């Protein structure tokens, strides 16, 4: 009986202690809630929560949420239709590329001096025609001298056409090193080729070079692989085809002419004998021609480091710019007119 009495006293003490602790918590909570700063912070948090779309959705009845889920299903189906639309756009691009090509071939002939434009083909009325006409008389002597000089040097085509575009476009000039310039002066044409029907979506850039002292390739290629389908894990992020990978080509450099590597000398001390020897090794070198040796996207799902992701994203942007802007409008990037248009467009947006 004594033991039972002790147990009852212990239980009673525990209940009493728990009650006291609860009372203290309630008093502390009351004191906190009476603090104006705490109340203001809580109210601000509630207000912010009320303005969040997701929090609003959470307040809706279950039947309404069910209908919203149905709308999302429809949205996914829309994304798949949009993907199909872009696939057909790619087919149209291929079709019209064939129509553009004869014009681009003639452009290549004029640039490289393979053909001379007729008077009708070279007739062009510029916006500043009046000013040019007034200044024409003053330039006659200079023109005559230039013609004589051209005849003496047998000047053909438009010298340094593509190289000038590289210099004019910031995105490209940033990639070009001084030792790249003599090589780029041999660049004769850039072409865009689209993947054939039934093949995975892609496009290739072909850089055609004349004979030179640097490499034996006549054509350097870069292929960009594309995907036009919503991501299974995030279908709402789909905004059209995206470049997912790219492949370059092997440049057959002539001996001692590879500008993508440089040779460095390093002194090495032997641990045992203490003798010092000089060793040479090749290390990567900044060059535009690294463009043809891109970073490979890992196929095993491993993520790239931040620098590699940035480099790859810049590569994709450059490839897209060649395809969409440089190749179709080359003469306007040569004269700088397209660059002014781009700058004006950017300034309007900003």
CA distances from 309 to 127, 294, 339 (A): 44, 11, 27
Tell how strand 187-194 and strand 219-227 pair up. unpaired
Q: Say what the pLDDT of residue 345 is.
A: 41
Beta carbons of 259 and 289 less than 8 angstroms apart: yes
Report mean pLDDT in 10-residue bins for the chain, 350 residues. 52 58 60 64 60 77 91 94 92 94 97 94 77 57 58 80 97 96 97 92 96 97 92 86 90 96 79 73 92 80 74 91 96 92 49
Q: Say what the pLDDT of residue 148 is.
A: 57
Which among 211, 208, 242 has a CA at the least distance from the CA of 222? 208
Please work out, in degrees rounded to the nearest 5, the angle formed at the alpha carbon of residue 262 by the alpha carbons of 259 and 267. Answer: 170
Query: What are the helix and strand counts (H, E) for the chain?
Result: 12, 6
Phi, psi of 197, rounded to the nearest 5 degrees: -55, 140
Q: Say what the pLDDT of residue 30 is.
A: 61
HEC letters along 1-46? CHHHHHHHHHHHHHHHHHHHHHHHHHHHHHHHHCCHHHHHHHHHHH
Q: Say what the pLDDT of residue 138 is.
A: 56
CB within 8 Å of 27: residues ≥ 6 apart? none
pTM confidence score: 0.73
b/e per residue 213-233 (b: at least 16 CB within 10 A)? ebbebeebebbbebbbbbeee
């Amino acid at each position: 009986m004594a033991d039972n009495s002790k147990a009852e006293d212990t239980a009673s003490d525990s209940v009493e202690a728990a009650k006291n602790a609860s009372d203290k918590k309630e008093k502390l909570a009351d004191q906190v809630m009476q603090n104006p700063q705490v109340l203001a912070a809580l109210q601000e948090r509630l207000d912010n929560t009320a303005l969040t779309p997701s929090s609003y959705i959470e307040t809706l009845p279950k039947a309404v949420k069910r209908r919203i889920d149905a709308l999302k299903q429809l949205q996914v189906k829309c994304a798949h239709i949009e993907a199909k639309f872009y696939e057909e756009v790619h087919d149209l691009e291929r079709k019209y590329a064939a129509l553009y090509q004869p014009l681009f071939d003639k452009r290549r002939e004029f640039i490289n001096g393979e053909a001379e434009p007729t008077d009708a083909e070279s007739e062009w009325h510029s916006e500043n025609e009046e000013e040019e006409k007034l200044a024409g008389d003053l330039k006659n002597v200079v023109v005559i001298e230039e013609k004589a000089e051209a005849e003496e040097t047998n000047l053909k085509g438009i010298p340094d056409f593509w190289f000038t575009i590289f210099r004019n476009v910031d995105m490209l000039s940033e990639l070009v090193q001084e030792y790249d310039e003599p090589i780029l002066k041999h660049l004769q044409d850039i072409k865009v080729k689209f993947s054939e029907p039934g093949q995975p979506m892609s496009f290739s850039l072909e850089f055609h070079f004349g004979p030179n002292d640097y490499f034996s390739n006549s054509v350097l290629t870069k292929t960009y692989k594309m995907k036009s389908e919503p991501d299974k894990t995030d279908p709402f992020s789909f905004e059209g085809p995206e470049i997912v990978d790219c492949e370059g080509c092997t440049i057959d450099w002539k001996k001692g002419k590879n500008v993508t590597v440089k040779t460095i000398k390093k002194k090495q001390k032997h641990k045992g004998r203490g003798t010092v020897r000089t060793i040479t090794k090749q290390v990567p070198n900044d060059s535009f021609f690294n463009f043809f040796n891109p970073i490979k996207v890992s196929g095993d799902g491993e993520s790239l480091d931040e620098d590699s992701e940035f480099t790859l994203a810049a590569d994709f942007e450059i490839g897209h710019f060649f395809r969409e802007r440089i190749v179709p409008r080359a003469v306007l990037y040569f004269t700088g007119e397209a660059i002014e248009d781009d700058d004006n467009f950017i300034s309007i947006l900003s």
